[in-house]
Every structure is written in structure tokens, then in C-alpha cells.
Structure 1
Amino acid sequence: TRDDDFIEHLFSATNHNYLLFFTEQGKCFWIRVFELPEGSKNSKGRPIQNMINIPPGDKIKAFVNLKDINDTEYINNNFIILCTKKGVIKKTSLLAYSKPRSNGINAITIREGDELLEARLTNGSCEMLLALRSGKAIRFPEKGVRPMGRNASGVKAITLANEADEVVSMICVSAEDQQDILVVSEKGFGKRSALEDYRITNRGGKGVKTLNITEKTGKLIAMIDVSDAYDLMIINKSGLTIRQPVAALRIMGRATQGVKLINLKNSDTIAAVAKVMALSEEELLEENQEETNNENPENEVDSSLE
């Protein structure tokens, strides 16, 4: 990866799989996996924006990996769910995305002052969790959102606390998932809670408290589904990135303030949070060795002297 970058998503795909990319303004673009340039394990890759016709000023917000859009049973029994920052949710049959176009298509009509936040592939029987900056979250069955055409703008998923409030995350879970819910605030506080603590309600409600928001914690910035198999990547606005194991966080009540995940200096705040697969013992040793070399550059041999 490039400096100050890290791998957030790792998945297997065949050459004939399709990747759907969704942009901030609600457009969808396709790429076949074989169209991506093949690289070595250590190569840095290419920007996705250079491979699809994204309009100027727009940017990629989400992606979905599709197995086979020529499989009738697959495209008729799966759905794409989209969510915007202003709490609008939309469900569309995968059939509507089964005819790729090089210039992309409209996936959702974005209302004025809004933008796309997340996209998820579902099987029609999942549950959706959405979290607000104001510290509230809602959980409702996917069946509460009827399928719509691509050009529809969607329906209300959650009621915002005020005009400045917005959705920060959307999670898709199923009954078989053994995941916990992790929430993080902008001033470095976080909390891991059991999924069962979030009761199932109807779509469009105000939600329940997911973090006790105070001046000390700052606003909520992320909600992600986690387990002990993951690490947490935290990126500050100052550019600092830290990694810590999810296993080190104990499960707490839903309405508590949480614990401090990172010490922030002065007016620094958290910019983004992501989950990544936990490092193996070998990878931990390699990472520690790299950090030691970076801290002690005098141990390195100057190639000009050789």
C-alpha cells in the first residue's frame, strides 16, 4: 500500500465476477474483475477513478461484489440496499443492475443537500442498523423496505434529531451473525455492545441511544459490526493512524459513554474508523520490526557508501 494507507477490504473473486461501484451522487458503475490490472503481492495498484467514467466532482462511496449477474435465481433473490446521510433508505432488486453500461446508471435519485453513504448486498431477510451523529441508532428488518425502481429516491429509514444531524453508518446483519456492535465518537471514545441490546423496531423511528453523547465524547462518527477476529484502524485528522485489537475491548451496555480508545492532543479529532482482519503473530513481528527500523534509521546502511 501507499504511505498512510491500509487494506480495508479483502475478498475472493473470480475473473467473471462484477464489482459495482456507487458514487456520492447516486450513480453506479461496473467493472469485471478481469478488467482490473493484475499486480504482484507488493504492487500498489491503480486508482479506481482512472478505470471508470466518474463525472467530475463525484467520488466513490461504496462497492458491492457480485458473483454472477447472468444467474437468474441469483439476481431475482438478492437486493442492493442504499442509504443516504439524511436517513433515506432504498432497496432495489439486483435484476435492475444486471445490464452493465460503460457510462454507469442512476442507482438512486439523491435529494438536494443529501449524498449517498453506503451500499449493501442483501438476500431479502437481513436486518439493517443505522447510526446518527447525535448518538441514536435504529434496527429494523429489511422486509420493512419495499423494493423500488432505480430512479426512486427511497423512503425514510430513521428520523434525524435536527437539521445538522446525519447518518454516519449503515450495517447489514443476519440472524446467524455472531457479531457485536462497535461505536466510536470523534473525541476518541468507543464502546462494544451486543447486537441483542438493539431492539428491533419499525423503519422511520427515532432509534435508541447507542452512545451517551457529551461534550467530553464528541459526536458519533462510526458504527461497525465486529468480532475478536478483527483489528480496529483509527485515523486522526492530524494524520496519525493507530491499530488496536477488537478483542481488547470488553462488551458494555448500549447507553454507556464507553472507554477511551486513543489519546488526542489539543483540538485533534478522529477522522475515520475501519475494521481490518487481525494480524497473525508473524505479521505482528514484521510490523514491530519495521517500526523499530523507522525509529532507528542510524542502523540502516547508506547505499552511497557501498
Structure 2
Amino acid sequence: IPKVLNLKEVMEHFINHRHEVVVRRTKYDLDAAEKRAHILEGYKIALDNIDEVVQLIKKSKDPETARLALMKRFKLSEIQARAILALTLQRLTGLERKKIEDEYRETIKLIERLRAILASKAMRMDIIRDELLELKKNFGDERRTEIIEKASEFSIEDMIAEEDVVITITHNGFIKRYPVSGYRRQSRGGKGITAQSTREDDFVEHMFIASTHQYILFFSDKGRAYWLKVHEVPEGGRVSRGRSIVNLIGKMPDEEITTFLPVKDFVESLFVTMVTKRGNVKKLALNEFSNPRKVGIIAIGLDKGDRLIDAWLTNGKQDIIIGSKNGMSLRFNEKDVRPMGRNARGVKGMNLSKGDEVIGMIVISRPGASVLVVTDKGFGKRSEVGEYTLRHRGGKGIFTVKTGDKSGKLLSIKEVIDNDDIMIVTTKGFLIRQHVKDIRTAGRNTQGVRLIRLQGTDSIAAVARVLAEDDGETNGSTPNDDQGDLFEEEDK
């Protein structure tokens, strides 16, 4: 079967071939030497009894009679007898006799050497080495090609234009990308339009922006991380479902992707800061993810019943705010969390009340930012960052939104500025885009205003911040915003 061999395998096949050549050649030479020694033994017998041999031949009526007589008298083989009869008279001289004896001794030595070669692999290896050195000595010359510095490797990214695209992922794990152009805003309270076509049991759950030259780090609820290049995500139209994510990354069947991070360079100075459902926080150096593996790696160890909720890129000295389902929040500096290994479970980030759980976290990174919170029943508001008192990790926190039957439970928390837009997607696949500046600023312990009018049993599935077009930041380098940057496609 044709096979691509590495250098070691090529050398092994070559050496095995040379062994076969040496063995076959040695067997051939041994056979010839043994035949010659057999004839020389017959010559020696004849020379030792030369007078009797001559008389026997003279008395024979023909060569055949002479051959048979020699074979019978001196116990010679047919080959030896024929060789003796073929001797010329000059071979009977003393000088020729000495030559025959010397040749016999050398032939016996040759036979012993050839048999030793066949019995010893080490001797065959020595022969192979000596022959190769002889070839090098006789035919070796200077290298004709010059070895220079390794040329830069050509990659598929060199042929792909770098542009921002929208990545969408449905609840059942279908993924696609779509150009970021062609999106428009709607006023607060609008109904939005259909974001994409889904099955009855599926809906758009996550959306975010990334550059085609970036990686996407996928984090599962089991605490594993997976890699995917953005340009490898299949491109789809507005109503297409995309492709199942399990066909693009090697996640386990019992895992769910919970959060994403677009990453371009895996630098040591940045960190992946993660939070779990039970309030544990962990910080891991970004360069720990620099070696992509199809089967993924462990990003965080989890206790039984816990799951990974969110992950952000941080610089090691930023403030973090964690939000919980019951409307609680806690602000602390990430310096309170030391970097850990990949298998570590992290430390207590927020002390949760019974029945409460973490829904997400934000990293304060922009001047003049405020905190936006949205409930699962479509209510939301903004609050000044200054209202969130800086504390140490491990506390219970303070109220960030008033939850209840009308407003629902807290679903999303994020950092925004006036120039941002937000995108909201519902469980039935509706999506709306709004100016952040149109959302009222209110105190922490209020329910806020209605951001989207839900129909029937519909509820909010995900919310995200969209950077304004004139914002100096790069969308693709922005950490994950509550399961992604959400968009509404323009009606055409």
C-alpha cells in the first residue's frame, strides 16, 4: 500500500534492503567458493597420487572409463574427476602444484568468512557501513543547494480577506457566519424580525462578532475548551440553520457550549477569567491555550453539579462584576484571584444564597461605562459603575435589579457605554437591536423598563453588546458579552 514515510522509516527500509542484498550476495559467493574448494580438493588428491593417476588414465580406453576409474579408486565426485581429466600437463609442475595448494587454503578461509557473515548481523552492518563510506569517498561532492533560514510558512489565512463576521449558534448547536454589514437599528419596544429559520425545538441562543483571521475558543459547561478558526465556520444566509458544531469541534456528546472568546494572539500577558454556576472564579494565562487540539483541553476543574457559566479575557488588574439569577451582584478586582493551572477548580468568587446561581460576569474596561442588566421577561436598565462598591471576592454582594413575577429573573449583565447598541434574541428566534443611550438609567434596586415586547410564552434567550462603528475598539478582540455580540439582520 502506498505510504508517506518519515526519515526514520525511509532509513529503516533502506537498511533492510541492504541487508537482503548483502545476504543474497554472500550466499552466492559462498556457493561459488564451496564449489571451487571441492574441485581444488580433487586436484590435491590427484597431485598427491600423480603417478598412479597418470597410469590409470593411460590404461583407460576412453575418457568416460578414466572418469569412472578415478571416482572408484580415489573416491572422487563426478565433478572432481572431470576437473582432473581436464588438467593440462603444465599444471603438474611443482610451481602449479604450490598455486593450487595456496588457492585451496585461501578458498577455505573465504568460506569461513562468508559463513561468519551469514551468521552475524553485526558483520553485515559493518559491511553496509564500509560500502556506504566507500561510496561517499568515491562519489561524494559538495552540496549543490544552499540551506538558508526557514522561509515563512504559507497558510490558508494568507488567501482569506480579514473582515468581521457575525457568528450565530442555535440552542441545538448549529453554527454559521454571516457578514456584519446589513444590520439596522430599531426603537425600544419594537418587535424585531426573524433572525434565522430554526426548527420548532431550536432557537438562536448565541451570536458574536469575530475576525476571519481569529480563533474562537469554545468553552463547555463541563469546563473544557475547544478551538475553531473563524474562516472554518460555514457561511450561511439569513434563514439557513448553519452546520452542527459537533462536526466542527471535538466536543463530548454530554457537553454544552456555554461561552466563547474570539482570540487572535495567545499572549502570556492576558488571562482567561472564568466563573461557574456556584460562584467559583478562576484565572488562567491565555498562553495555556496556545496549542490547539482537536479534542480540546481542560480549562477548569468542576465539582459535581457545578458548570462553567462565563469566561472573559482580562489583563490581570481589572475589576470584575458577577451577577446572579436572584438579582445580586459583587464587584472585586481580579488581583484577588491568582493564576492557576488548567485542572484547578478556582476560588470562591461570590457567596450565593440557597437556590441562587451565577448568570454571568462583566469586566470593567471602558471609561464612562455603565452596567446594563436584562431579565428573562424583557425588562432592563442601566446603572452607574460607581454604584457597585468595590469589595473583596467571596462576599454575598448587593442588589443590582429587582426581580419578581412581573420582571422575571436576571438573565444578563454587561458593561456598556452610550455609543453602544444592544441586541436581544428570544427563545422563539426574534431579535431586536437598540441604542444603549435610549435605555433609562435607574437605581440598582429597581426592575427597569421593558426592552422588548414578548409574545405569549416567549422569553429572552440571550443579550449582548454591539460596539458602535466609530468605536476605537476592535470587535474581534472584545471578550465574550453574555454568550456573544448579538445582531439583527437588516430587512432587504
- Which of residues 362, 378, 397 is equivalent to 1:171? 362
> Counterparts of 1:138 and 1:279 in 2: how far apart (Å)?
31
Residue 116 of structure 1 corresponds to: 308
| Residue pairs, 1:140-151, within 5 angstroms | 140-151=332-343
| Residue pairs, 1:44-83, within 5 angstroms | 46-69=243-266, 74-75=267-268, 77-83=269-275
User: Are the structure 2 counterparts of residues 224 and 55 from structure 1 closer, same or farther at C-alpha, using a change threshold of 3 Å?
Assistant: same
Residue 344 of structure 2 corresponds to: 152
Residue 12 of structure 1 corresponds to: 211
> Counterparts of 1:268 and 1:62 in 2: how far apart (Å)?
22
- Which of residues 218, 223, 240 is equivalent to 1:21? 218
**Secondary structure, in 3 states, of the residue corresponding to 2:395?**
coil
The count of corresponding residues between Structure 1 and Structure 2 is 274
Are 1:241 and 2:431 matched, yes or no? Answer: yes
**Secondary structure, in 3 states, of the residue corresponding to 1:10?**
strand
User: Are the structure 2 counterparts of residues 241 and 279 from structure 1 closer, same or farther at C-alpha, using a change threshold of 3 Å?
Assistant: farther
User: Are the structure 2 counterparts of residues 261 and 201 from structure 1 closer, same or farther at C-alpha, using a change threshold of 3 Å?
Assistant: same
**1:149 Cα shift?**
0.7
**1:124 Cα shift?**
0.5
CA contact under 8 A between 1:133 and 1:168: conserved in structure 2?
Answer: yes
**Secondary structure, in 3 states, of the residue corresponding to 1:161?**
coil
CA contact under 8 A between 2:205 and 2:462: conserved in structure 1?
Answer: no
> Counterparts of 2:236 and 2:405 in 1: how far apart (Å)?
47
TM-score by length of structure 2 reads 0.51
| Residue pairs, 1:282-293, within 5 angstroms | 287=490, 290=492
**Secondary structure, in 3 states, of the residue corresponding to 1:82?**
strand
**Secondary structure, in 3 states, of the residue corresponding to 2:423?**
strand
CA contact under 8 A between 1:8 and 1:275: conserved in structure 2?
Answer: no
- Which of residues 388, 391, 408 is equivalent to 1:201? 391
User: Are the structure 2 counterparts of residues 159 and 266 from structure 1 closer, same or farther at C-alpha, using a change threshold of 3 Å?
Assistant: same
Are 1:97 and 2:294 matched, yes or no? Answer: no
TM-score by length of structure 1 reads 0.79
> Counterparts of 2:216 and 2:376 in 1: how far apart (Å)?
32
CA contact under 8 A between 1:8 and 1:276: conserved in structure 2?
Answer: no
> Counterparts of 2:215 and 2:323 in 1: how far apart (Å)?
29
Report the residue type matching 1:111 in the other structure. Answer: D
- Which of residues 214, 232, 235 is equivalent to 2:422? 232
CA contact under 8 A between 1:88 and 1:154: conserved in structure 2?
Answer: yes
CA contact under 8 A between 2:222 and 2:308: conserved in structure 1?
Answer: yes
Are 1:107 and 2:282 matched, yes or no? Answer: no
Report the residue type matching 1:275 in the other structure. Answer: R
Residue 197 of structure 2 corresponds to: 3
> Counterparts of 1:18 and 1:187 in 2: how far apart (Å)?
33
User: Are the structure 2 counterparts of residues 30 and 214 from structure 1 closer, same or farther at C-alpha, using a change threshold of 3 Å?
Assistant: closer
Q: Which moved more, 1:250-259 or 1:115-124?
A: 250-259
> Counterparts of 2:221 and 2:304 in 1: how far apart (Å)?
12
CA contact under 8 A between 2:206 and 2:462: conserved in structure 1?
Answer: no
> Counterparts of 1:269 and 1:93 in 2: how far apart (Å)?
36
Residue 25 of structure 2 corresponds to: none
Q: Which moved more, 1:147-156 or 1:188-197?
A: 188-197
Structure 2 stretches lacking a partner, 5+ long: 1-177, 179-195, 199-203, 471-488
User: Are the structure 2 counterparts of residues 250 and 236 from structure 1 closer, same or farther at C-alpha, using a change threshold of 3 Å?
Assistant: same
**1:240 Cα shift?**
3.8
Structure 1 stretches lacking a partner, 5+ long: 281-285, 291-306
**Secondary structure, in 3 states, of the residue corresponding to 1:95?**
helix
User: Are the structure 2 counterparts of residues 109 and 253 from structure 1 closer, same or farther at C-alpha, using a change threshold of 3 Å?
Assistant: same
CA contact under 8 A between 2:210 and 2:230: conserved in structure 1?
Answer: no
**Secondary structure, in 3 states, of the residue corresponding to 1:171?**
strand
User: Are the structure 2 counterparts of residues 266 and 86 from structure 1 closer, same or farther at C-alpha, using a change threshold of 3 Å?
Assistant: same
> Counterparts of 1:211 and 1:201 in 2: how far apart (Å)?
18
User: Are the structure 2 counterparts of residues 93 and 230 from structure 1 closer, same or farther at C-alpha, using a change threshold of 3 Å?
Assistant: same
Report the residue type matching 1:20 in the other structure. Answer: L
**1:91 Cα shift?**
0.7
- The structure richer in helix per residue is 2
User: Are the structure 2 counterparts of residues 88 and 10 from structure 1 closer, same or farther at C-alpha, using a change threshold of 3 Å?
Assistant: same
> Counterparts of 1:228 and 1:41 in 2: how far apart (Å)?
31
> RMSD of aligned C-alpha atoms?
2.8
User: Are the structure 2 counterparts of residues 196 and 110 from structure 1 closer, same or farther at C-alpha, using a change threshold of 3 Å?
Assistant: same
- Which of residues 270, 273, 277 is equivalent to 2:463? 273
> Counterparts of 2:469 and 2:262 in 1: how far apart (Å)?
24
Report the residue type matching 2:447 in the other structure. Answer: Q
- Which of residues 255, 259, 271 is equivalent to 2:449? 259
**1:107 Cα shift?**
0.8
- The structure richer in strand per residue is 1
User: Are the structure 2 counterparts of residues 68 and 263 from structure 1 closer, same or farther at C-alpha, using a change threshold of 3 Å?
Assistant: closer
User: Are the structure 2 counterparts of residues 61 and 138 from structure 1 closer, same or farther at C-alpha, using a change threshold of 3 Å?
Assistant: same
Residue 295 of structure 1 corresponds to: none
Q: Which moved more, 1:91-100 or 1:106-115?
A: 91-100
Q: Which moved more, 1:222-231 or 1:36-45?
A: 36-45
Computing the radius of gyration over CA atoms, which structure comes out larger, 1 or 2?
2
Report the residue type matching 2:209 in the other structure. Answer: L
Residue 280 of structure 2 corresponds to: 88
Report the residue type matching 1:228 in the other structure. Answer: D
**1:110 Cα shift?**
1.6
Q: Which moved more, 1:85-94 or 1:44-53?
A: 44-53
> Counterparts of 2:411 and 2:311 in 1: how far apart (Å)?
18
